[in-house]
Amino acid sequence: MDNSPDRAPVVDLKAGRLRGAVEEGVTVFRAVPYATPPVGPLRWRPAQPHPGWSGVRDATADGPSVPQMYAEGGDPVLGGHGSPPFDEDCLTLNIWTPAVDAGRRPVLFWIHGGGFVSGSGSMPIYSGEEFARDGDIVVVSINYRTGPLGYLYLGDELDAAGKGRGAEEGEDRPCATGAGNFWLTDQLAALRWVHDNITHFGGDPDTITVAGQSGGAVSTAALAGHPEARGMLKRVILQSPPLGLDIPAPAAYLERTAAYLQFAGAADVDELRELPWPRLIEAAGALFGHTMRWGYWPTPFLPVRDGVTLHEHPGRTLLDDAAADIDVMIGWTREEANFGFALDAGYAEATRDQVVARIAEVFDTDAEAVYAAYARTRPGARPVDVLMDLITDELFRVPCLELAEARAASGRPVWAYQFDLPAPVHDGRLAAAHCLELPFVFHNFDKWSHVPLVRGIAPAVRDGLADTMHQAWIAFVRTGNPNHAGVPEWERYGAESRATMRFDSVVTSVNDLAGHSRTLHEGRRRP
């Protein structure tokens, strides 16, 4: 095959032929379908294999993203997360590879986050170009159903309304009672597609690292121990997974499903399926307000422990025997919750009594003492600062530590990190907020120029830290160990040392870096 830069690369798959492009020396295939479009009767159905295509399919332009809420002008932190065009026909993936050959390179399979409601694998900030070029690895990013299309749980009502109907009216197909988590069926289908096809793109199906951030890290954890994913992934990277979320069982979830149906103006799933997707997204906005609680991260849509596609909390899967030999890297940012609360004028006026009451909702121990313990770690702390530290701990840092502790206790491999470099923007109020590690990991600040979060970071500090983190991620994808010449010795997290890499202007390994949070939350009420 002639794969010279002046010739468009073409690959032959069972599904059909694909024509990609060479961009800055990296071969790229965009909007590659991995599942049948989930439209019409396939809305709120598990992902189905794509039937293929005839001729040569052009794969040089990004496809549409999953429908989601969108506001012109973005937001003051990320500047937006997902942009038009949107369409339900969105189950595609992008591939970056150093060359279309028989190289059998390690594969990085990236799952974007977005609070289960936004994002796209084709966003420039998630470009795999630098990873492919710098690490000689193949990178895949995926689109999957988010918001109501991916996370709405309809339970037995869906099966009663649609049992026996497939892609064509009258087609008989099995329907698992009470199944949900269509997002997970998408990701499993994409992972299966990559495992079956990546050799055609110079990748090694036996060396796949699944990585994700935020909601994408929850997805990564869910895949790690899933029986259908067994043997298809070797390593996982969990960046800021909100493992402290309460993942509801069906009965609890159906309460918000009923509210969503009301907001959408639909009596049942048949009526809901007839609505255009913009109406579904509008109703999702109403569900935000309905499910919001003071002092908690808003999550109108969540995974569901349906007992069919997901049997337990995703954080538990990495402790199961199925995930025993999977290499794990896990980490968080120092001030995760500042992302959602530091710029909110309403929370700036929070009182001590309000925050103490919020602490009392989740702690069995004296809430005033817990407040004081948090306040001592921040001289001059306002009530909102204590609240943000509390949310960071209970949603991100402490559950990550607990997972690392459990894996270390059983002798299973895990590396831990904390990202500490603060963002100067907005007078420093965001600090080391949720998402801030992403441009350092991808080492692609040129693609983040529109994002307020990264503005003002000193270039010398920025570039040095980005190189260190980027190369650590590459080393982990390639070998299962994040150590490289440019990073201090990074030991596995152990029950005694609790070694944690601290990423800041100076990178250091610290024993029990988050010990204060770990011990303080021993008094937290467990679900």
Quick one: 195 and 228 in the same domain? yes
Query: d(Cα 146, Cα 116) in Å, to the nearest integer?
Result: 5
* Contact (Cβ atoms closer than 8 angstroms) between residue 19 and residue 56: yes
Per-residue confidence (pLDDT) for residue 379, from 0 to 100: 86
Whether 199 contacts 171, CB under 8 Å: no
Residue 360, domain member (yes or no)? yes
Collapsing DSSP states into helix, strand and coil, what is residue 184?
A: helix
Token digits for 171?
């087609």
For 349, residues 6+ apart whose C-beta sits below 8 A from its C-beta are: none
Tell me whether residue 339 is in a domain. no
Contacts for 101 with CB less than 8 Å, ≥ 6 apart: 3, 202
Q: Are residues 320 and 400 in the same domain?
A: no
DSSP element (H, E) containing 378: none
Residue keyed to tokens 């459990």: 406
Per-residue pLDDT at 320: 85
Tell me the C-alpha distance between 124 and 473, whole Å: 19
The number of beta carbons lying within 10 Å of the beta carbon of residue 278 is 10
Cα 295 → chain centroid: 22
Give the DSSP letter string of 401-466: HHHHHHHHHTT--EEEEEE-PPB-TGGGTTBS-TTTTHHHHHT-GGGGTT-GGGTT--HHHHHHHH
User: Same domain for 402 and 527?
Assistant: yes
Q: Give SS3 for 331.
A: strand
For residues 362 and 481, membership in a common domain is answered with yes
Give buried/exposed letters for 338-350 (b at 16+ CB in 10 A, else e).
Answer: bbbbbbeeebeeb
Residues 286 and 409 in one domain: no
In a domain, 178, yes or no: yes
Nearest in space to 209 (alpha carbons), one of 220, 222, 197: 220
Q: Positive or negative CA dihedral for 45, 46, 52, 58?
A: positive
Confidence (pLDDT) at 58: 98
354 shares a domain with 270 = no
Please tell me the predicted confidence (pLDDT) of residue 156: 79
Distance separating alpha carbons of residues 204 and 471, to the nearest angstrom: 20
Residues 377 and 519 in one domain: yes
Considering only CA atoms, which of 83, 44, 46 is closest in space to residue 65?
83
Q: What is the spatial distance between Cα 155 and Cα 151, in angstroms, rounded to a whole number? A: 12
Q: Domain check: are 460 and 514 in the same one?
A: yes
CA–CA dist 240, 227 (Å, integer)? 24
Whether 340 is covered by a domain: the verdict is no
State how many domains the chain has: 2
CB 100 within 8 A of CB 29: no
Instruction: Judge if 57 and 189 occupy the same domain.
Output: yes
Type of residue at 5: P
Question: Do residue 479 and residue 526 come from a single domain?
Answer: yes
Closest CA to 403 of 330, 303, 333: 330
Say how far apart CA 123 and CA 141 lie, in whole Å. Answer: 9
Give the torsion sign (CA, 207, 208, 213, 218): negative
Contacts of 302 (CB under 8 A, 6+ apart): 116, 151, 245, 247, 248, 253
**Which strand (E) or helix (H) includes residue 335?**
none
Torsion angle in degrees (nearest 10) through CA of 501, 507, 508, 513: -50
Find all residues with CB under 8 Å of 476, minimum gap 6, and list them: 209, 235, 237, 327, 329, 415, 482
C-alpha Rg value of the chain to the nearest Å: 22
| Residue 341 falls inside a structural domain | no
With respect to residue 337, please indicate whether it lies within any of the assigned structural domains: no
Enzyme catalytic residues: 214, 336, 434
| Residuewise pLDDT in 10s, the chain (527 residues) | 444 445 789 999 999 999 999 999 999 999 999 999 999 999 999 999 999 999 999 999 999 999 999 988 889 999 999 999 999 999 999 999 999 999 999 999 999 999 999 999 999 999 999 999 999 999 999 999 999 999 999 997 665 544 433 333 333 333 456 789 999 999 999 999 999 999 999 999 999 999 999 999 999 999 998 999 999 999 999 999 999 999 999 999 999 999 999 999 999 999 999 999 999 999 999 999 999 999 999 999 999 999 999 999 999 999 988 888 899 999 999 999 999 999 999 999 999 999 999 999 999 989 999 999 999 998 899 999 999 999 999 999 999 999 999 999 999 989 999 999 999 999 999 999 999 999 999 999 999 999 999 999 999 999 999 999 999 999 999 999 999 999 999 999 998 899 999 999 999 999 999 999 999 999 887 66
Check whether residue 300 and residue 431 sit in a common domain: no
- 8 A C-beta contact, residue 35 and residue 189: yes
Res 40: pLDDT: 94
CA-to-CA distance for 431 and 452, rounded, in angstroms? 13
Q: Clarify whether residues 79 and 226 are in a common domain.
A: yes
Please give the model's pTM, rounded to 2 decimal places: 0.95
What is residue 209's three-state secondary structure?
Answer: strand
DSSP helix/strand/coil, 518: helix
Domain extent, residue 45, equals 1-325
**Is 331 within the bounds of a domain?**
no
**332 within domain boundaries:** no
Whether 460 contacts 433, CB under 8 Å: no
Report the CATH number that the domain containing residue 450 is assigned in CATH: 3.40.50.1820
